Amino acid sequence: MSAVIAEGTQTVNMLTAIKQALFEEMEREPGMVCIGEDIGILGGAFGVTEGLQDRFGAERVIDAPISEALIVGAAVGMSMRGRPVMAEMQFIDFISCGFDQIVNNAATMHYRTAGKVSLPMVIRGPSGGYGGGGPYHSQQNEAWFAHSPGLRVVCPSTPSDAYGLLKTCLRDNNPCIFYEVKELYRKREIEEQIPGGDYTVPLGKARIAREGSDLTFVTYGNMVYFCLEAAVKLAEEGIEAEIIDLRSLVPLDDEAILNSIKKTNRVIAVNEAPMTCGFAGEILARVNEYAFEYLDAPPARVTRTDTPVPWVKPLELAVLPSVDDIYEAAKRAVNY
Amino acid sequence: MNSKRSVVANAGDKGTDTEQRPLRARDGLSEQDHLEILKQLYLARYFDVRLIKEKRRGRLRGTLYSSHNQEAILVGTLYGLRPSDWISPIHRDMPAFFLKDLRGNWDNDDRMGMSIGEVCAQVWGRATAPGRARDNWSHIGDASKGIICSTSMLAGTIPVAAGVVYDAKLKGEDTVCLTYNGEGSTSQGVFHEAINFAAIHKLAVVTIIENNQWAYGTPLELGSPVEDVADRAKGYDIPGLIADGQDVLDVLDKTMWAVERGRAGKGPSLIECKTFRAYGHGDHDDDRAAKYRGADEVEKGRSRDPIAVFKKYLVEKGILTKAEAKKYSPEGKHANETTDEDFPPDVVDIMKKGVEFALDSPLPEASEATKWVFAEPRR
């Protein structure tokens, strides 16, 4: 296996980890194809696929026209014949243009054919706010797809997880929506060494990002770091927060959530997406169903306000969750 | 109101292609082929007629989208395909599932098309249906037989067809994929996205447009600024052919020209088959359709029954005598007016066996309802 980008002991950022996983899987699966806007000649808007076309050729790394429905539909056609496909959405916001092909076609194919047709395809793209992207370059729209049975929905927060989960999803046999938080792509502080060997991360297995005994944050993606910051503040006051980084939303690690609540008896669900019908709401609904008797405080959520993401900084920060929002929610739970 | 519309009678051979079209698939047909094509037209009609009657008796769930008067398009497009070619039929194309790879292959259930029994099992919602009746009527597919499963979202199979052919091309195969669409589908964005991509990569995707003049309750002129939807091909620099959808051999000739062109690596084509929808959009719409479409329009639109057109040709060619041509005559009749005597006995018989297979099959168990949401990992 070629370690083309990072050598064994080198620490890498999340973007490089994702790139490395793509190169390795393209090498490993001579049939695998990548398709997306500007992924070939340019190497992707963020450079995730830089060098991929030079290495594997234009037939396997397709520069698609600006046609998300075509990109997804063609991925369905290729993968239904057994060919693994990575389809890139230039920004995950643009996935709405391919929505029908995803939720009505790809998501339901295995079901509709009573298990005869499987689709080994991953749709991945950069997501999330805090970068001044405005309404169409800032979304975390994972709830749309978690609500469409038949799709894996994944959102890693560390380079190793991004690497290991992308590999797992590319080797899975189901359509997967893979969220890459673009604010984390090049974040220095989270650079790390990717475990050697053929490292993969299982779907449906959460990671405990911080251990604690007083309350549980259930979150994923960029919010993991917001919760970590809030936890530092809380620890100064002697409050120890546990942080569950879900990593994959579908399938969901209910057991990890339950076990943590049994220990802490308090839970705050945090997502960057809007509140109504967001994934934090789903977590709280489940907590009410299976962990109600362990709770010492009302379960709460911290989310974006139910507004679009505005462009300029004061407006953007006003609607997105902040460390303070999370800290205050935690304090309310602890003081209940 | 419908002055702009050229109903079938005016279907000309204009289109946008400027390439030579010497290939006439009909010239390669034997006498036996001609008789087989006629038999397939009878079969497609009988299947539809039988289901219309079953539906009226309340024996079937869901909606029947009749292919009556449009059978020449299905038989003509499918007859010359190779078994390894792919198709993506939509709601009005139920017979396509068993017409694929049917030529001389009526008793072979392992052929690269579905058996009539399987298709009947689908219509009756049985566990022996290709998708175990998880979606209704035409929403069936079988990747092992080269049939793409459609959804209700029109034109949505064309990008999938592009992917199928792209995959085949990478494997060095010269597979062609026919996608079926109504003229209404040409207004969908994905129609253009997919044909655009197929044209860029010269993929052998042949888009068949069954222009039956009505997209549910909306006439062509309210759905398309061009009278001939074949003209939409111009924007992609691909051939846009017009076929007489009532003439099975015209459809065959034009399809096979486009198919062989695609196979040779020259890219996609669009074939507009001019026809007319015999009844309502679906059986639920029959009564209302009688109000939004004038009786004279319907009479004119149905005046060239594809079975009659082909029989006339066979008599002129000397393949059938006038007496033989008259023997089985469902043409021009409303489904309710036809009887089994209007069809050849072997056609009636194969459908009868298909229906029996369906009725002998169990309904799926309720316990299946939550299965197959996800596939097992590949490894």
Render pLDDT for B68-127 as a digit per residue (tens, 0 to 9). Answer: 999 999 999 999 999 999 999 999 999 999 999 999 999 998 999 999 999 999 999 999
Same domain, A149 and A29: yes
Helix axes B31-56, B345-360, angle to 10 degrees: 50
Residues from chain A that touch B376, judged by Cβ atoms under 8 A, are: 173
Residues from chain A that touch B168, judged by Cβ atoms under 8 A, are: 81
Nearest to A75 among B148, B161, B163 (CB): B163
Residue A172: band (very low, low, confident or very high) from pLDDT cuts 50, 70, 90 = very high
- Give this complex's ipTM: 0.96
Q: Do A112 and B149 contact (CB within 8 A), yes or no?
A: yes
Contact B197 A70 (CB under 8 A): yes
Contact B193 A67 (CB under 8 A): yes
- Angstrom distance (rounded) from CA A19 to CA B91: 42
Same domain, A185 and A217: no
Length of chain A: 336
- Angstrom distance (rounded) from CA A89 to CA A48: 12
pLDDT of residue B19: 60
Contact A77 B156 (CB under 8 A): no
pLDDT of residue A258: 98
pLDDT tens across A262-320, in order? Answer: 999 999 999 999 999 999 999 999 999 999 999 999 999 999 999 999 999 999 999 99
Residues from chain A that touch B151, judged by Cβ atoms under 8 A, are: 100, 104-105, 108
Give the DSSP per-residue string, B65-81. ---TT-HHHHHHHHTT-
Does A137 qualify as catalytic in the annotation? Answer: yes
Whether A198 is in a domain gets the answer no
Mean pLDDT of all residues in chain B?
A: 94
For residue A134, give both structure tokens.
Answer: 């405005």
Contact A110 B134 (CB under 8 A): no
pLDDT of residue A7: 65
Percentage, residues of chain B above pLDDT 70: 94
pLDDT of residue B13: 44
Interface of A with B (CB under 8 A): 31, 33, 59-60, 64-65, 67, 69-70, 72-81, 83, 100-101, 104-105, 108-120, 149-150, 152, 171-174
Whether A218 is in a domain gets the answer yes
Is residue B214 scored above 50 in pLDDT?
A: yes
- Angstrom distance (rounded) from CA B82 to CA B88: 15
Nearby residues of B261 by Cβ (< 8 Å), 6 or more positions away:
B19, B239, B267, B269
pLDDT tens across A40-74, in order? Answer: 999 999 999 999 999 999 999 999 999 999 999 99
Residues from chain B that touch A146, judged by Cβ atoms under 8 A, are: none
CA distance A327 to chain B (A): 38
Residue B3: band (very low, low, confident or very high) from pLDDT cuts 50, 70, 90 = very low
Percentage, residues of chain A above pLDDT 70: 98
Residue where one domain finishes, among candidates A193, A217, A246: A193
CA distance A33 to chain B (A): 9
Buried b (16+ CB within 10 A) or exposed e, B327-341: ebbbbebebeebeee
Nearby residues of B120 by Cβ (< 8 Å), 6 or more positions away:
B351, B354, B355, B357, B358
- Of B122, B111, B126, residue with least CA distance to B149: B122
List the catalytic residue out of A19, A60, A124, A137.
A137
pLDDT of residue A304: 98
Same domain, A184 and A245: no
Same domain, A176 and A234: no
Among the residue ranges A191-200, B248-257, B272-281, the one predicted with the least confidence is A191-200
Same domain, A243 and A303: yes
What's the CATH number where A173 sits? 3.40.50.970
Count of domains forming chain A: 2
Distance of CA B328 to the CA centre of its chain: 23
Backbone angles phi, psi at B85, to 5 degrees: -75, 160
What's the CATH number where A297 sits? 3.40.50.920
- Angstrom distance (rounded) from CA A96 to CA A85: 19
CA distance A150 to chain B (A): 5
Is residue A244 scored above 60 in pLDDT?
A: yes
- Angstrom distance (rounded) from CA B266 to CA B274: 25
Is residue B352 scored above 70 in pLDDT?
A: yes
Whether A272 is in a domain gets the answer yes
CA-based nearest residue in chain A for residue B140: A113
CA distance A220 to chain B (A): 23
- When pLDDT is averaged across residues B341-365 and rounded to a whole number, the result is 98
Nearest to B162 among A70, A108, A109 (CB): A70
- Angstrom distance (rounded) from CA A106 to CA A109: 5
pLDDT of residue A8: 65
Percentage, residues of chain B above pLDDT 90: 92
Contact A78 B151 (CB under 8 A): no
Same domain, A155 and A28: yes
Whether A26 is in a domain gets the answer yes
Whether A79 is in a domain gets the answer yes
CA distance A265 to chain B (A): 33
pLDDT of residue B2: 41
Same domain, A232 and A318: yes
pLDDT tens across B293-314, in order? Answer: 999 999 999 999 999 999 999 9
Residue A196: band (very low, low, confident or very high) from pLDDT cuts 50, 70, 90 = confident
**For residue A138, how many C-alpha atoms fall within 13 Å in the half-sphere facing its CB?**
22
Per DSSP (E only), the strands in chain B are 86-88, 177-182, 205-211, 214-215, 218-219, 240-244, 269-274
Nearest to A118 among B134, B135, B375 (CB): B375
Contact A115 B153 (CB under 8 A): no
Contact A105 B374 (CB under 8 A): no
Name the residue ranges covered by the structural domains of chain B: 35-116+133-343
CA-based nearest residue in chain B for residue A78: B163
- Of B53, B365, B263, B147, residue with least CA distance to A113: B147
Same domain, A179 and A216: no
SS3 state of residue B179: strand
CA-based nearest residue in chain B for residue A66: B193
pLDDT of residue A271: 98
Residue where one domain finishes, among candidates A141, A167, A193: A193
Contact B378 A173 (CB under 8 A): yes
- Of B159, B243, B146, residue with least CA distance to B200: B159
Same domain, A181 and A60: yes
Same domain, A177 and A297: no
3-state secondary structure chain A: CCCCCCCCCCEECHHHHHHHHHHHHHHHCCCCEEEECCCCCCCCCCCCCCCHHHHHCCCCEEECCCCHHHHHHHHHHHHCCCCCEEEECCCHHHHHHHHHHHHHHHHHHHHHCCCCCCCCEEEEEEECCCCCCCCCCCCCCHHHHHCCCCCEEECCCCHHHHHHHHHHHHHCCCCEEEEEEHHHHCCHHHCEECCCCCCCCCCCCCEEEECCCCEEEEECCCHHHHHHHHHHHHHHCCCCEEEEECCEEECCCHHHHHHHHHHHCCEEEEEEEECCCCHHHHHHHHHHHHCHHHCCCCCEEEEECCCCCCCCHHHHHHHCCCHHHHHHHHHHHHCC
For residue B98, give both structure tokens.
Answer: 């068993």
Class of residue B368 by CB neighbours under 10 A (exposed 0-12, middle 13-18, buried 19+) = middle
- Angstrom distance (rounded) from CA A274 to CA A217: 17
Q: Strands A121-127 and A248-250: what pairing? A: unpaired
Is residue B1 scored above 70 in pLDDT?
A: no
Instruction: Give the CA dihedral A57, A61, A62, A66, nearest 10 degrees.
Output: -140
Domain span at residue A109 reads: 11-193
Contact B375 A173 (CB under 8 A): yes
**For residue B219, how many C-alpha atoms fall within 13 Å in the half-sphere facing its CB?**
15
Same domain, A214 and A189: no
SS3 state of residue B210: strand
For residue A99, give both structure tokens.
Answer: 């929505």
Residue B20: band (very low, low, confident or very high) from pLDDT cuts 50, 70, 90 = low
- When pLDDT is averaged across residues A222-243 and rounded to a whole number, the result is 98
Residues from chain B that touch A119, judged by Cβ atoms under 8 A, are: 375
Residues from chain A that touch B85, judged by Cβ atoms under 8 A, are: none
pLDDT of residue B361: 98
pLDDT tens across B316-326, in order? Answer: 999 999 999 99
- Angstrom distance (rounded) from CA A198 to CA A211: 28
Q: Do A219 and A329 contact (CB within 8 A), yes or no?
A: no
Whether A264 is in a domain gets the answer yes
Whether A202 is in a domain gets the answer no
CA distance A328 to chain B (A): 39
Mutate to test the interface with A, among B173, B368, B378 (most CBs of A within 10 A): B378
Residues from chain B that touch A64, judged by Cβ atoms under 8 A, are: 197
Same domain, A44 and A174: yes
- When pLDDT is averaged across residues B194-204 and rounded to a whole number, the result is 98
Contact B166 A78 (CB under 8 A): yes
Residues from chain B that touch A25, judged by Cβ atoms under 8 A, are: none
- Angstrom distance (rounded) from CA A84 to CA A110: 15
pLDDT of residue B379: 62
Whether A311 is in a domain gets the answer yes
User: Quick one: fold of B35-116+133-343?
Assistant: Rossmann fold (3.40.50)
Interface of B with A (CB under 8 A): 130-132, 134-135, 139, 141-144, 148-149, 151-153, 156, 158-168, 170, 189-190, 193-194, 196-197, 200, 368, 371-379
Q: Do A5 and A23 contact (CB within 8 A), yes or no?
A: yes
Is residue B22 scored above 80 in pLDDT?
A: no
Contact B131 A118 (CB under 8 A): no
Residues from chain B that touch A77, judged by Cβ atoms under 8 A, are: 148, 159-167
